[in-house]
Copies of this chain bind each other. A is one copy, B any other.
């Protein structure tokens, strides 16, 4: 599980949201965004503490570098030499367009194939459609998104909002089996105007028998009360079941109930297979408090072999009950650079967003 933060990423997602919200300050002040979330006047006035996704429609440009990593793996990165596994979190709002120039610094063909968004066949990222990138070359892929809209025949065209992902489709085989195995994948979130923004977003990818290509699951950290978003993606060969201790979510588009009439199942365990993706937001420690809450694949041999990590929820004073004395727990390496990343810049931005 890798927290999606850092200065590079801000150029993609958070900063854009902030800029928009600041630019549209009058609208926010007029209560439009709070209405989208809260509905009821009295409660909205009391509880407007959450930022929401602004209107879409922006056109952005982005450069993504496909690179070999020191350990023989491969990754996408926003700057040369900064590739990561998973690749950077890409966020859009319905209506946005994103032009992504992929620069291939490797010695094999690579590509970029997205799930969920609208793209013409020239941005398919498949060899058949001749939309891959040769070694040393570059290619611009265009992703568009759209809000829900009623068609002329009266039916509804669903919007692009969802917890999606992107990956290579040509390394190793024409289905990108080699690229996926080595790490060429990343999360893509398309939000709907008015969707609640989290304070932190973590990405968990069950890729064959690894989590984010690590032999044991990384930890991630939050404080009780944080609004945390999880993006869960699966790749490779195997089916898995994703389980979190002490926290649950709704099995629907947002992972949150739309209201008391919402019949979506509430679950804490979900079967997944390659290229499945979903996401949800939770309030860290809500109703259960601080602690080292395990998350893991619940296929018994998979968790036994290391497909497990911790969602470390601290008290406001930073302590995690019962955790410190067990730091050397079996089959788990905590504090690795990839695993346990404390967020800082985003919190500051989160506050800014509320103006």
Residues of A within 8 A of B (CB): 34, 37-40, 43-44, 46-50, 113, 115-116, 118-122, 124, 126-130, 144, 146, 148, 150-162, 173-177, 180-181, 196, 235-237, 239-241, 243, 245-246, 248-254, 256-278, 283, 286-294, 296, 298-301, 303-304, 308, 321-322, 326, 329-331
Contacts of A46 in B (CB 8 A): 152
A347–B83 CA distance with the chains assembled, in angstroms: 50
Which 5 pairs between the two chains have the least Cβ-Cβ distance?
Answer: A38-B154, A121-B291, A275-B298, A271-B273, A47-B152
Q: Which residue of B lies closest to A47 (CB)?
A: B152
Q: Across the interface, which residues of B come within 8 angstroms of A144, CB to CB? A: 287
Contact residues in B for A290 (Cβ distance below 8 Å): 121
Given known A-B contacts A37-B155, A271-B273, A126 and B299 have beta carbons under 8 A apart? no
A326 to chain B: closest CB distance in Å? 5
Point out the residues of chain B lying under 8 angstroms from A331, CB to CB: 174
**In the complex the two chains form, is B273's CB within 8 Å of A298's CB?**
yes
Known: A130-B326, A300-B175. A293 touches B121 (CB 8 A): yes
From B116, B150, B272, B286, A248 is in contact (CB under 8 Å) with B116
Given the known inter-chain contacts A115-B268, A263-B254, A322-B122, please indicate yes or no for A47 contacting B237, CB distance below 8 A: no
A303, B173: Cα distance in complex, Å: 10
